[in-house]
Structures are given as C-alpha cells and as structure tokens.
Amino acid sequence: MASQETFKEHSVAEFFKKNKQMLGFSGKIRSLTTIVHEYVTNSFDACEEAGILPEIEMEMKETGKDRYLLKVKDNGPGIPKKHLGKALGMMLAGTKFHRYIQQRGQQGIGAAGCTMYSLLTTGKPVYAESGNGKEIIKCNISVDFKTNKPVLTNIIEEPSDFRGLVVEAEFGDVKFEKSNYGVIEYLRRSALVNPHAKIRFTDPSGEAIVFPRSTEEIPPKPVEVQPHPLGITAHDLLDLSKAESEYSRLSSFLQARFSRVSLAKVNELKDMLPEINFNKNPKNLSWEECEMLVQKFKDIKWISPSADGIIPIGKDLIEKSFVNVLNPEIVVVSERKPKIYKGGIPFVVEAGIAYGGGIASAGKKGEVMRFANRAPLLFDAGGCAITETVKSVDWKRYNLKNFDEEPIVVLVNISSVHIPYVTAGKQAIAGIEEVSDEIKNAVMEASRKVQVYISGKRKKKEAETKRKVIRRYVNQLSSDLAELAETDDEEKLKEKLSEMVENRYT
C-alpha cells in the first residue's frame, strides 16, 4: 500500500504536461499542426463573434533543429487585459466552455496548451500583443505548472490603434513538412470551409502562400442557446438552480433558463409532481426534487431543441469552395435538417461529394475531408465516426467500384454547440449512435445524387459507343440499299440513316 507521503494533489497544468498527447502534442509534424490549429480556430471564433471578416497572418522561421518561431497575427477584437493572462496561460479557462454556443473551441485549453508546449520544449514564454483599437498591451506569458496560474512579465501598455491579437512563440520538437498532415494542408482545408477568411502564411523558406477571401459574407454571429430539458441531468439542474440570481420562482426559472419550456409545460409538470412547490425559490431545490423533475422531463412531449444556434456552411458555399479548390466534374451536397443527440444537443451534418475532373487529374483517390464547426480534422481518422461511417457505406450500390480507387472527395462537416470529440485533442468525433446515423444518412443522400449522375454518364457513354459502331456501317448500308432498291439516291439514304442513328443513340 502506498504511504501517506506519496498522496499528493496536482494541477490540471501538471496533468497535461504529463499527458500532452491528449492535447495533440505527439509527433513533430502533428504537434506543429496542432499549434496552428489552436491559434487559427481561436482567431476565427473571436472574429465571428465580433462580426469581423478574419484576416490572419502567420510567419514561421526555423531557429534550430526541429525548432521554429511562429508569429500569428489576427484582426479580431483582441483579449481584454484582465483576461489575457488566463486566456493564454491557464488551462481550462476561456469564454466558451460554460456556454451553449457554436464555436470551434469549446474547452479553454488550446491556447494555454501551446504556451505549455513552448515552455516545455524551449523554456521560453510566449510573447503576446493585444489591442482593442485604442490601447495595446504587450507582455510575456508563461504557465506556473504547480498552480495552473498564468505568469505575466515585461508588461507594456500604451495607446495604439492596433486591433487584434499577436502571439509569437518558439517551439521545439516540431517539424514543418509539406505533407497531408502538415500546416499547409491544414490551412488549405480551413480556407475551403471558411471562404470569408483571408490567410497568409510564410513558410520557413520564406515562401508566402495566400488563401484569399472568396466571399465578403460574414457567417451569422453564433448565438447562445439554452439547454433543452431532455439533455440535462439532475446534477446540471441543481447547478443551474443554485446559480440562479434573477428568478425567484421555480416556474419562471424553468421557463427562462431552458429551451422549449412554456407555461403550459410547467403546468403539465405541476400536475405530474404535486409534491413540488413550483413557487419556491430555485436556489432551494433539493437533489431529490431535481431527480424527480429530470425524470418527468422524459415523459413530456417536447418540441425538438431549436437549431437557431447552429450555423452550417451551407450548400452554396460548399459547392463554390469545391469548384474553386478541386475543380471536379461533379459536385453534390446534401442539406439535412437539424437532429439532436443525447436527447438535447442539436447538430447538423452536411455532406458534399466531389467527383472526377480536377480530382482525377490531381491523382486524388477516395479522400475523406472531415470538419467540425468548420475546423478541419486531420488526425485520428481511424477512430472518428466520420471516417468509420464513410468507409462503411457500400459504394458499389452507388455505381462506384472501389471507394479507395475512385477520383472522389467526400466532405463531412458537423455543426453543433457541443461537438462530441473523442479526446481533448479535438480530432475525432465520437461514435454516438444518433450522430453516426445522421452522418450515414447525409453521405448516402449525396451518394445517390452521384449515382444518378454516374449511371446517366455510363448510359451516355454506352450509347456513344453504339452510335460510333453503327455509324461505321451507314455508308456500306446505304450503298447496298440503293443497289437493292435500284435507286441512285444513295446520298439521301445515307442522310436518312445517319439521322436515325443520331436520334436513337443520343
């Protein structure tokens, strides 16, 4: 048995220091892509919430073996001074975790995870500049691992018209490579589903690549949605009721804090639970009462959760992006209605298929592009519900012989206020039944459209071959017929026969 001296507590920062692979820091190429992913998704989220068209500039310089300096600058709202340290130097702190809102980040760990990785591999803090258009704050930020508290040094505050965030950090044990899992591929995919963004990346050789903006339309602002009664547990209800400060009666608290709870629904609950006083202060709800309420929530016929907070990419933009980036012969997109998982969390799946044309000439085959809230998922494909579902489709039924051999790209984007990721590294979607089923339905719907196209195309090709073969006999046939019919109007016969062949086989 372990002695009492070995019993110690540790902070979340220490935990992730030991388990950095959980945040995506495993392998040199992956670690670098993870870093770029965290900064880019943060910039996109911040810009979207502030209604700004994002412009991100990134520069990477090699500073040693497997060591790079990365500078990321965005034109977002910046981070207020009082939050800057926590945002970049404290694990599990941020503006997204506690809200039901569709954003790419959701845990409050991405940016601080990068600061941690910089400290662990180079011993250096990150340098940050945050401006709101009037003032700028510049400082170095590191993490105190023992306490998971941010440490700010060299703070300078001065007037400035700069608005946005700049982060400059040096990372070791990372590698820049132009591979399918590298930074450039990540940015390419990001640009594909975020055509409203402009991204400029200067690679370590000094070569700059620009992903231009192809639409000036800012995606709708993400709005916070309230939890649906079917998605919450007794513990959630107790937490929310204790935190309530505005509503002093249970009946009004339920109507105000949950989606789809009307006065009529509260009255239904009252009839079902005469032992509960619905005029009581929600702060005084007991665990037993919460359990009873959650139990009864399941017996009520609710309207499905509102999908107002869900922002898919949209058919038009997916089509446009596919054409811009892949120039395929055919593009199909299935648009689906919102669904719910875990009884209360709404989500929307979009599936697009691009086939032939530029995909064939680029030598791409059987590719699956996975996205969650418009952020590309490049890693952990094997354990992701999207890959598993796409691979499980019987493609032969859709006139495609072998998925891995066809010039086909399947894009799946899942949008939700809470994406069910497998790990904190946010690279794979968990195989929750409702989610997997919906991915399958979306992919199959798109596949059927491809099937119609391909079978139409095959029929056309067959007809074309027949037409060519038969046309070869027209000359001979018309001269033979002219001889048989004892006429010298062979030309007319030829014309008529050609017409018949054309009509029959086109």
Ligand X SMILES: Nc1ncnc2c1ncn2[C@@H]1O[C@H](COP(=O)(O)OP(=O)(O)OP(=O)(O)O)[C@@H](O)[C@H]1O
CB closer to ligand X, 82 vs 301 = 82
Q: Which does 131 bind (CB under 5 to 8 A by kind): Mg ion, ligand X, none?
A: none
Written as six digits, the tokens of 389 are 């579902």
Question: Minimal distance in Å, beta carbon 204 to Mg ion?
Answer: 24
CB closer to ligand X, 87 vs 410 = 87
Report if residue 54 touches ligand X, rule: CB under 6 A: no
Place of tokens 């941010």: 150
Q: Phi-psi bin for 459: left (phi > 0), alpha (psi -120 to 50), beta?
A: alpha
Question: Minimal distance in Å, beta carbon 149 to ligand X?
Answer: 15
Q: Which strands form 67-74's sheet, in the order they lie side by side?
A: 149-159, 135-144, 126-132, 163-172, 67-74, 55-64, 198-202, 208-211
CB closer to Mg ion, 91 vs 443 = 91
DSSP 56-99: EEEEEEEEETTEEEEEEEE-S----HHHHHHHHHSTT-SSSTTS
Question: Minimal distance in Å, beta carbon 248 to ligand X?
Answer: 31
Question: Minimal distance in Å, beta carbon 426 to ligand X?
Answer: 6
Q: Which does 197 bind (CB under 5 to 8 A by kind): Mg ion, ligand X, none?
A: none
- Phi/psi of residue 416, each to 5°? -165, 160
Question: Minimal distance in Å, beta carbon 73 to ligand X?
Answer: 9
In terms of Cβ atoms closer than 10 Å to its own Cβ (0-12, 13-18, 19+), residue 64 is: exposed
- Nearest-10 Cα torsion for 456, 462, 465, 471: -90
Taking the CA of residue 310 as centre, how many other CA atoms within 13 Å lie in the half-sphere pointing to its CB? 23
Residue of minimal Cβ distance to ligand X: 105
Question: What is the spatial distance between Cα 362 and Cα 356, in angstroms, rounded to a whole number?
Answer: 10
**Candidates 34-42, 141-149, 246-254, 483-491; binding stretch for Mg ion (CB under 5 A):** 34-42
Among 20, 38, 183, 353, which residue sits at the site for ligand X (rule: CB under 6 A)? Answer: 38
Site string for ligand X, 110-129 (x = CB under 6 A): xxx-----------------
Residue 369's beta-bridge partner residues? 411
E strand or H helix at 135, and its extent? Answer: strand 135-144
Do residues 281 and 243 lie in contact, with contact meaning Cβ atoms separated by under 8 Å?
A: no
Contacts of 137 (CB under 8 A, 6+ apart): 81, 84, 129, 130, 131, 155, 156, 157
CB closer to ligand X, 105 vs 356 = 105
E strand or H helix at 127, and its extent? Answer: strand 126-132
Among 54, 85, 89, 110, which residue sits at the site for Mg ion (rule: CB under 5 A)? Answer: 110
Among 29, 40, 139, 165, which residue sits at the site for ligand X (rule: CB under 6 A)? Answer: 165
Taking the CA of residue 409 as centre, how many other CA atoms within 13 Å lie in the half-sphere pointing to its CB? 26
CB closer to ligand X, 48 vs 367 = 48
Number of residues interacting with ligand X: please give it, by CB under 6 A: 21
Length reported for the chain: 506
Report if residue 78 touches Mg ion, rule: CB under 5 A: no
How do beta strands 198-202 and 55-64 pair?
A: parallel
Question: What is the spatial distance between Cα 434 and Cα 347, in angstroms, rounded to a whole number?
Answer: 10
Q: Which does 112 bind (CB under 5 to 8 A by kind): ligand X, Mg ion, none?
A: ligand X
Question: Minimal distance in Å, beta carbon 111 to ligand X?
Answer: 4
Q: Please, which of residues 89-108 interact with Mg ion by CB under 5 A?
A: 105
Question: Minimal distance in Å, beta carbon 3 to ligand X?
Answer: 37
Site string for ligand X, 71-110 (x = CB under 6 A): ---x-xx-x-------x------xxx--------xxxxxx
CB closer to ligand X, 38 vs 350 = 38
Q: Which does 282 bind (CB under 5 to 8 A by kind): Mg ion, ligand X, none?
A: none
DSSP three-state, residue 162: coil
Q: Which does 354 bind (CB under 5 to 8 A by kind): ligand X, Mg ion, none?
A: none
Question: Minimal distance in Å, beta carbon 306 to ligand X?
Answer: 23
Question: Minimal distance in Å, beta carbon 113 to ligand X?
Answer: 7
Residue 98 to residues 87, 224, 225, Cα–Cα distance (Å): 14, 10, 12
Residue of minimal Cβ distance to Mg ion: 105
Amino acid occupying residue 326 = L
Question: Minimal distance in Å, beta carbon 202 to ligand X?
Answer: 19
Q: Which does 95 bind (CB under 5 to 8 A by kind): Mg ion, ligand X, none?
A: ligand X
Report if residue 42 touches Mg ion, rule: CB under 5 A: yes
- Positions in the binding site for Mg ion (CB under 5 A): 42, 105, 110
- Positions in the binding site for ligand X (CB under 6 A): 38, 42-43, 46, 74, 76-77, 79, 87, 94-96, 105-112, 165
